[in-house]
Amino acid sequence: MDLLDVMLKRRSVRKYTEDEIPKEKMNKILQAGLLAPTSRNRKPCSFLVVDSKDALEKLSESKESSSKFLKNANKAIVVVANTLISDTWIEDSSIALAFMHLMAAEQDIGSCWVQIHLRKSKSGQSSEDYVREVLGIDDYFRIVGILALGVPFREVKGYEIEDVDKERVHYYCKE
């Protein structure tokens, strides 16, 4: 599939069936994360695949709102960045999340980014501390986001290139 077609098709999908994500599709999504470029090629990110119902339910409480759908996800990939390896963990984690989100779309798997960094849980605890506690992750690992994944409950309409706001592109010319 042409990359632009995948980009047009890509949407944030938050409602999933109870079906299992096929193993080959999951592998491709993880490969996309592993292939994401990183500053100085330091590769600070690890990918923690969560499929325990209990853990997914706990993770769905990691924010005051907009993380609830994790409860019904088939799997979640928590991107865990080692800050002792790189200072560009935000950028590296974000690129990996975006690569996996795109690959999921290409594989007809629904996915949605759940922002963890800079967010708070219901109790006022930082979402990062909450997730670290649920999954038993050390403090020097930072968590920018989680990718929720599942077989889409229904088709979410993609974008049309004609509808994209091209006014946001500017050209700086010498003359």
154 φ, ψ (degrees, to nearest 5): -150, 165
Our finding on whether 12 is near ligand FMN (CB under 6 A) is yes
Comparison of 113 and 153: residue with beta carbon closer to ligand FMN: 113
Our finding on whether 68 is near ligand FMN (CB under 6 A) is no
Q: What is the dihedral of CA 54, 59, 65, 71, to 10 degrees?
A: -40
- Applying the rule CB under 6 A, the residues between 147 and 166 that interact with ligand FMN are none
| Element of type H or E holding 138 | none
Comparison of 27 and 159: residue with beta carbon closer to ligand FMN: 159
Our finding on whether 113 is near ligand FMN (CB under 6 A) is yes
Judge contact between 118 and 84, C-beta under 8 A.
Answer: no
CB of 115 to ligand FMN, least distance (A): 4
CA–CA separation, 125 vs 122, rounded Å?
7
Q: Which residues bind ligand FMN (CB under 6 A)?
A: 11-12, 14, 66-67, 112-115
